[in-house]
C-alpha cells in the first residue's frame, strides 16, 4: 500500500470550535496581535508547540490510574527509573517537572562566570539557564545549516572543526560541558547524525570534558539516523537510542516531547558525586529524588510514552506527516525550510514577505495573517524573539525570520494538515498586500511572550 495512515485510531475526541474571519479579527485585535495572548479555544489548529500537547494512548491513561502517589520510593518511580535506564543507559536518573528544571539544576552546579557551553544550537531555555548562571552559551551549527534551501540530510550537526578549535583554545578549565541538541529545535528541527555525535564525543573525551545530550526529540532524531545513515538501516530504534547516549556522559530531557507526556522531564549522569549535588538542589526546588516535582501518575505516563515513541510505525508516520506538509508547500512555491524536520514546519518569512523589512517583523505579520485567514496558530522565530539586546535595548535583525508550525504528536489528522496547507496558500496568494508590524510595548526579557503589536 502506498497510502500512509495514522497508525492509531481515535478513542476520545475534543471538539474544535470553528470561527469566522470576523471573529478571528476581533480575537486577534484583543490579543494585541500576539498569538501567545489568544485563548486556545479560539484557535482552530494550534501549532504553537509540540511540547506537552501530545495525545496519550489508552495504555498511558490506564497506567496513570495505577500511579503510586507515595511520597518516597513509589512503585511508579522505579518503573520510570528503570525505563529511563534501559533506553538512555545512564546510572543516575533525576526526575524533574519539565526540561528547563533539569537544565537549571545541571547548569546551577556546573556553570560559572568563566564558563563557555558550546551546543549545535541552544534552545532558548538552555541559553537562558546558562546566562542566568553568568556563563556564555555558544552556538556552533554546521555550515550547511545556514542554507535553508539545501537538502543536506543532517543540518542539525555541530561544526566539528569549530568545536575542536574552541576546545584547544579554552580546554576543560573554561568548558564545563559540551552539549548537542537532538533534533536541533532552534535550527529548524533538523537531525544530528550518529557520525557527528561520535566526533563530538571523541573531542569531549579527549579533553576530559563531559558531553551532554539535550534529548527532547531523541526518537525523531534516531529515526532520521535510521533512514539516512546507511549503517543504521537495520538497527532498531531502541538500539539507535542506546548507541547515541552511550557516547554521552549525561542528558537533559523534556518528557513533554518524545515521551508523549503533558508534563515531566529528567536529568541523567554517570557521575555519582555530581548527581549527589544535583539531588540536593532537586530537593530544594523540585521535590524528593523519587518524584522530582511529578505525581506518581505522571511518572507512569512517561514510562509508557518512552516505550511507545520508539515504535517504528509511529516514527515513520511522524516524519512522513511532517514531510507531507513541507512537500505540499514546496510544490506551491511557498518558501519553507527544507528538508522537513521532525516536529515542525518552518516558513521562511523573509522570502514569503520580501517587501517587509526585518525590523518590521515579517514573521510576526505572517503568524498573525495565518491566524486571521485560517485560525492556525504558529510562532514567530526571528527578530521579535531574538532581535533585541535585553541589556542595551538595541534592535537588530535576527539571523532568520521564520514562522514555526509545530505539530503536536498524534493530535491532528491529514485533513487538518490539508486545511493548514490551504490556509498558508491563501495567505501566499495575497502576500503583496500584507503589511509589516511595529511593537507598541514590550518587556526587556523574552519579549515575544507578552509584547503588544500593531500594523504599520
Which CB sits closer to ligand F0G, 166 or 182? 182
E strand or H helix at 371, and its extent? helix 362-374
The Cα–Cα gap between 113 and 308 comes to 41
Is 95 one of the binding residues for ligand F0G (CB under 6 A)? no
Q: Cell 514555526, residue?
A: 404
Which CB sits closer to ligand F0G, 126 or 193? 126
Q: Which residues pair with 455 in a beta bridge?
A: 437
Beta strands (DSSP E) in 115-203 are 116-119, 136-139, 178-181
Which CB sits closer to ligand F0G, 125 or 190? 125
Is 125 one of the binding residues for ligand F0G (CB under 6 A)? yes
- Report, in Å, the least distance between residue 164 CB and ligand F0G: 24
Which of these segments, 63-71, 98-106, 279-287, 358-366, binds ligand F0G (CB under 6 A)? Answer: 98-106
Which of these segments, 118-126, 308-316, 346-354, 434-442, binds ligand F0G (CB under 6 A)? Answer: 118-126
Which CB sits closer to ligand F0G, 305 or 353? 305
> Residue 224 to residues 142, 156, 228, 364: CA-CA distances in angstroms?
17, 11, 6, 30
Of positions 100, 323, 328, 447, contacts ligand F0G by CB under 6 A = 100
Is 126 one of the binding residues for ligand F0G (CB under 6 A)? yes
Distance of CA 455 to the CA centre of its chain: 30
Is 98 one of the binding residues for ligand F0G (CB under 6 A)? yes
Is 290 one of the binding residues for ligand F0G (CB under 6 A)? no
The Cα–Cα gap between 252 and 177 comes to 12
Tell me how long the chain is.
456
Answer whether 409's CB lies under 8 Å from 55's CB: yes
For 286, half-sphere exposure in the C-beta direction (CA atoms, 13 angstrom radius) is 29
Per CB under 6 A, contacts with ligand F0G among 334-373 are none
Which CB sits closer to ligand F0G, 19 or 54? 54
The Cα–Cα gap between 250 and 104 comes to 14
Per CB under 6 A, contacts with ligand F0G among 246-265 are 254, 256, 265
Q: How many residues bind ligand F0G (CB under 6 A)?
A: 16
Which CB sits closer to ligand F0G, 157 or 254? 254
The Cα–Cα gap between 268 and 117 comes to 18
Which CB sits closer to ligand F0G, 47 or 303? 47
Is 34 one of the binding residues for ligand F0G (CB under 6 A)? no
Per CB under 6 A, contacts with ligand F0G among 179-208 are 181, 185
- Report, in Å, the least distance between residue 115 CB and ligand F0G: 18
Q: What are phi and psi of 367, to 5 degrees?
A: -60, -40
Q: What are phi and psi of 95, to 5 degrees?
A: -75, 145
Per CB under 6 A, contacts with ligand F0G among 381-420 are 406
Which CB sits closer to ligand F0G, 306 or 434? 306
C-alpha cell read off for 66 = 495505577
Q: Is the peptide bond before 339 cis (omega within 30 degrees of 0)?
A: yes
Which of these segments, 119-127, 187-195, 295-303, 320-328, binds ligand F0G (CB under 6 A)? Answer: 119-127
- 241: burial class by Cβ within 10 Å (0-12, 13-18, 19+)? buried
E strand or H helix at 212, and its extent? strand 211-214
Helix axes 124-132, 99-110, angle to 10 degrees: 30
Per CB under 6 A, contacts with ligand F0G among 43-62 are 49, 51
- Report, in Å, the least distance between residue 396 CB and ligand F0G: 24
C-alpha cell read off for 46 = 494550534
- Report, in Å, the least distance between residue 130 CB and ligand F0G: 12
The Cα–Cα gap between 17 and 315 comes to 29
Which of these segments, 27-35, 95-103, 111-119, 220-228, binds ligand F0G (CB under 6 A)? Answer: 95-103
Residues in contact with ligand F0G by the rule CB under 6 A: 49, 51, 98-100, 123, 125-126, 181, 185, 214, 216, 254, 256, 265, 406
Amino acid at each position: 500500500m502506498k497510502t500512509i495512515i495514522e497508525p492509531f485510531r481515535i478513542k476520545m475526541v475534543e471538539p474544535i470550535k470553528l470561527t469566522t474571519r470576523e471573529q478571528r479579527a476581533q480575537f486577534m485585535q484583543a490579543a494585541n496581535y500576539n498569538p501567545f495572548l489568544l485563548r486556545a479555544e479560539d484557535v482552530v489548529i494550534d501549532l504553537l508547540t509540540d511540547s506537552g500537547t501530545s495525545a496519550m494512548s489508552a495504555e498511558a491513561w490506564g497506567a496513570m490510574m495505577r500511579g503510586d502517589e507515595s511520597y518516597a520510593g513509589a512503585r511508579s518511580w522505579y518503573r520510570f527509573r528503570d525505563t529511563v535506564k534501559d533506553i538512555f543507559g545512564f546510572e543516575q536518573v533525576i526526575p524533574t517537572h519539565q526540561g528547563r528544571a533539569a537544565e537549571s539544576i545541571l547548569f546551577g552546579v556546573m556553570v560559572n562566570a568563566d564558563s563557555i557551553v558550546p551546543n549545535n544550537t541552544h534552545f532558548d531555555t538552555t541559553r537562558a539557564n546558562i546566562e542566568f548562571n553568568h556563563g556564555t552559551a555558544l552556538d556552533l551549527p554546521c555550515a550547511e545549516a545556514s542554507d535553508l534551501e539545501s537538502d543536506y540530510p543532517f543540518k542539525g550537526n555541530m561544526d566539528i572543526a569549530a568545536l575542536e578549535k574552541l576546545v584547544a583554545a579554552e580546554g576543560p578549565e573554561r568548558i564545563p560541558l559540551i552539549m548537542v541538541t537532538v533534533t536541533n529545535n532552534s535550527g529548524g528541527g533538523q537531525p544530528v547524525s550518529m557520525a557527528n555525535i561520535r566526533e563530538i564525543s571523541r573531542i569531549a573525551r579527549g579533553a576530559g570534558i563531559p558531553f551532554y545530550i539535550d534529548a527532547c526529540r531523541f526518537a525523531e532524531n534516531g529515526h532520521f539516523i535510521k533512514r539516512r545513515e546507511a549503517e543504521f538501516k537495520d538497527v532498531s530504534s531502541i538500539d539507535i537510542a542506546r548507541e547515541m547516549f552511550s557516547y554521552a556522559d549525561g542528558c537533559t530531557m523534556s518528557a513533554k516531547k518524545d515521551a508523549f507526556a503533558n508534563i515531566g522531564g529528567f536529568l541523567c549522569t554517570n557521575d555519582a558525586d555530581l548527581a549527589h549535588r544535583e539531588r540536593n538542589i532537586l530537593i530544594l526546588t523540585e521535590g524528593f529524588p523519587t518524584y522530582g516535582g511529578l505525581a506518581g501518575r505522571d511518572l507512569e505516563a512517561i514510562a509508557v510514552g518512552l516505550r511507545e515513541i520508539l515504535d517504528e510505525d509511529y516514527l515513520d508516520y511522524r516524519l512522513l506527516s511532517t514531510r507531507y506538509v513541507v512537500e505540499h508547500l514546496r510544490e506551491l512555491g511557498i518558501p519553507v525550510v527544507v528538508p522537513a524536520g521532525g516536529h515542525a514546519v518552518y516558513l521562511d518569512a523573509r522570502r514569503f514577505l520580501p517587501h517587509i523589512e526585518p525590523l518590521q517583523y515579517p514573521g510576526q505579520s505572517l503568524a498573525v495573517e495565518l491566524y486571521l485567514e485560517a485560525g492556525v496558530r504558529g510562532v514567530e522565530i526571528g527578530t521579535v524573539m531574538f532581535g533585541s539586546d535585553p541589556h542595551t535595548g538595541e534592535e537588530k535583525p535576527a539571523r532568520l525570520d521564520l514562522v514555526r508550525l509545530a505539530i503536536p504528536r498524534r493530535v491532528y489528522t491529514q485533513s487538518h494538515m490539508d486545511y493548514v496547507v490551504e490556509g498558508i496558500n491563501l495567505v501566499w496568494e495575497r502576500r503583496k498586500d500584507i503589511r509589516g508590524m511595529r511593537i507598541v510595548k514590550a518587556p526587556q526579557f523574552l519579549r515575544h511572550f507578552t509584547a503588544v503589536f500593531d500594523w504599520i
